[in-house]
């Protein structure tokens, strides 16, 4: 039997893994500068954690969750996203008693049973942040600026920021009435999903990607025109700060997001290079979720970056940063191999990346291997070298060569410090 990873689920290894690692460490560095600390929540949660937060009528909850019953008869779900778990953790550990805002970042796999296609997987990774306990629009601007600076740090320049406000429960319920009324006449022109959404979650019609729905909503009203005073002011103050920080954005009045917990600010970072699944990161404010989960009233905001989409964009632009050995130790015969291993161990202890020969092949093929690995130096240890106490070295970059005492680790270290 030929084993394969399940559909829509993939392995990550060299050379791509080096881009992943570089992205992760850039993100961690930046998150630290903004005062975010890491949070590691479980990959599984009780199913209600997701159904109650993401929303019963969303695609994720209706169709995409990996849910099973455990041996104790409880319904368990593989996390489809990170926000719900962060909220659960925040409440469970009474983190609201700590000074606000509490700011967290996370990195890890998420699971959604979606139809696999370019940029859409069943297991995918997100890097996300969540900030709890601050309602001021300055933090909205700071969170968007953090995402903007993250893309800048990893040298992705052609990312577009789409922004909208979907208001609070009050302005949204007024708007829903207006929206229902506006679609009433051409309900049959909507796709079957949106016809269902009409009764359950009409705002989602605005975000549907089906051509006939895009056509049908040409004349639809914009929520932006129905925001209450508070939401309108929040949005204007956010814009004022983004302008001041010189963060480019476009207002997309149809951006409503596929998860139900959002209030006020929502945003997506998109790229034309990604095709249909163009959102590389997305997020927004969710001021009611902590309270709905049984915690104290706590405004919150966050985003998540889709790692696979990000890596696709980076791979179009750069070669993976594959580590290059400082040194390859070629050896001929058992005694030399053992001596080579000893030298390698002393140098690795000092932090150098050293590859060695494990026996069996000619010096020529060992030199070819050193070249293929793009090692900076090669050391050659044969019977003659062993006897004389000196081994040959060659710098494969500037082609200099010479001899060095193989027991004198200090002089080897000095040599390796040369470029
Ligand atoms: P989301 O829009 O569902 O939001 O996902 C965020 C990002 O994850 C997307 O923009 C996309 O890049 C990536 N993504 C989502 N689904 C897939 C998939 N099936 N395959 C590959 N990549 C995918 C959330 O998850 C929210 N929790 C974000 C958030 C955090 N909002 C507030 N805080």
- Nearest CA residue ID for atom 16, ligand 1: 120
In the predicted model, residues of the chain with pLDDT beneath 50 are none
Q: Of 80, 74, 82, which is closest to residue 113 (Cα–Cα)?
A: 80
Are the C-beta atoms of residues 416 and 379 closer than 8 Å to each other? no
pLDDT tens for 262-321 read 999 999 999 999 988 899 999 999 999 999 999 999 999 999 999 999 999 999 998 999
Ligand 1 centroid distance, CA of 282 (Å): 6
| Residue 114 CA, ligand 1 centroid: distance in Å | 13
Residue 276: per-residue pLDDT: 84
Judge if the beta carbon of residue 302 lies within 6 A of ligand 1: yes
Of all protein residues, the one whose alpha carbon is nearest to atom 21 of ligand 1 is 120
Q: What is the pLDDT of residue 201?
A: 86
Pocket probe mutation, ligand 1, options 306, 311, 312, max atoms within 8 Å of Cβ: 306
Per the CB < 8 A criterion, the answer to whether 328 and 378 are in contact is yes
Contact 256, 207 (CB under 8 A): yes
- What atom of ligand 1 comes closest to residue 80's alpha carbon? 25
Residue 419 is predicted with a pLDDT of: 59
Protein residue with its CA nearest to atom 18 in ligand 1:
120
Sequence-distant (≥ 6) Cβ neighbours of residue 319 within 8 angstroms: 15
* Separation of CA 333 and ligand 1 centre (Å): 55
- Residue 167: per-residue pLDDT: 95
Q: Whole-angstrom Cα distance, residue 97 to residue 17?
A: 39
Task: Give the pLDDT of residue 174.
Answer: 85
pLDDT of the residue at 216: 86
The whole-number pLDDT of residue 94 equals 98
Cα–Cα distance, 264 to 228 (Å, whole number): 10
Instruction: Give the pLDDT of residue 255.
Output: 93
Tokens 């903007």 belong to residue: 148
120 ligand 1 Cβ < 6 A: yes
CA of 309 from ligand 1 middle (Å) equals 10
How far apart (Å, rounded) are the C-alpha atoms in residues 196 and 254?
18
Nearest CA to ligand 1 atom 10: 281
Residue 267 corresponds to which tokens in the numbers above? 């945003």
Tell me the per-residue pLDDT of 156-172, one tens digit each, with 9 for 90 and over.
999 999 999 999 988 98
Substitution site in 166, 282, 309 for ligand 1 pocket (most atoms within 8 Å of beta carbon): 282
pTM (2 d.p.): 0.94
Say yes or no: CB of residue 105 within 6 Å of ligand 1.
no
């Amino acid at each position: 039997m030929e084993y394969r990873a399940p559909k829509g689920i993939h392995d990550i290894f060299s050379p791509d893994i080096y881009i992943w690692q570089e992205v992760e460490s850039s993100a961690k560095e930046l998150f630290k500068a903004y005062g975010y600390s890491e949070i590691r929540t479980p990959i599984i949660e009780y199913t209600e954690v997701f159904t109650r937060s993401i929303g019963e009528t969303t695609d994720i909850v209706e169709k995409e969750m990996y849910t099973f019953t455990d041996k104790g008869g409880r319904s368990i779900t593989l996390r489809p996203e990170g926000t719900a778990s962060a909220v659960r953790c925040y409440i469970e550990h009474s983190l609201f008693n700590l000074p606000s805002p509490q700011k967290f970042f996370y990195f890890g796999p998420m699971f959604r049973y979606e139809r696999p296609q370019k940029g859409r997987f069943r297991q995918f990774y997100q890097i996300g942040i969540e900030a709890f306990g601050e309602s001021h629009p300055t933090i909205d601007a700071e969170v968007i600026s953090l995402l903007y600076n993250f893309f800048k740090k990893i040298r992705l320049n052609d990312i577009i920021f789409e922004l909208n406000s979907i208001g609070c429960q009050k302005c949204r319920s007024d708007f829903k009435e207006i929206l229902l009324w506006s679609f009433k006449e051409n309900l049959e022109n909507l796709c079957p999903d949106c016809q269902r959404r009409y009764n359950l979650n009409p705002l989602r019609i605005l975000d549907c990607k089906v051509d006939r729905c895009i056509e049908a909503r040409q004349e639809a009203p914009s929520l932006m025109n129905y925001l209450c005073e508070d939401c309108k002011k929040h949005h204007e103050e956010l814009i004022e700060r983004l302008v001041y920080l010189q963060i480019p954005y476009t207002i997309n009045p149809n951006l409503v997001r596929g998860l139900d917990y959002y209030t006020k600010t929502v945003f997506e970072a998109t790229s034309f290079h990604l095709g249909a699944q163009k959102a590389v990161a997305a997020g927004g404010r969710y001021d009611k979720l902590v309270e709905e989960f049984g915690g104290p009233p706590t405004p919150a905001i966050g985003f998540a970056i889709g790692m696979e989409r990000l890596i696709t964009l980076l791979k179009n632009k750069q070669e993976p940063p594959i580590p290059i050995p400082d040194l390859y130790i070629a050896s001929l015969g058992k005694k030399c191999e053992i001596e080579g291993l000893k030298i390698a161990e002393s140098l690795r202890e000092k932090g150098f990346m050293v590859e060695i020969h494990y026996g069996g092949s000619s010096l020529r093929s060992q030199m070819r291997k050193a070249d293929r690995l793009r090692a900076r130096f090669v050391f050659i240890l044969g019977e003659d070298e062993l006897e004389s106490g000196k081994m040959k070295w060659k710098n494969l970059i500037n082609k200099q060569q010479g001899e060095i005492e193989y027991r004198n680790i200090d002089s080897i270290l000095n040599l390796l410090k040369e470029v």
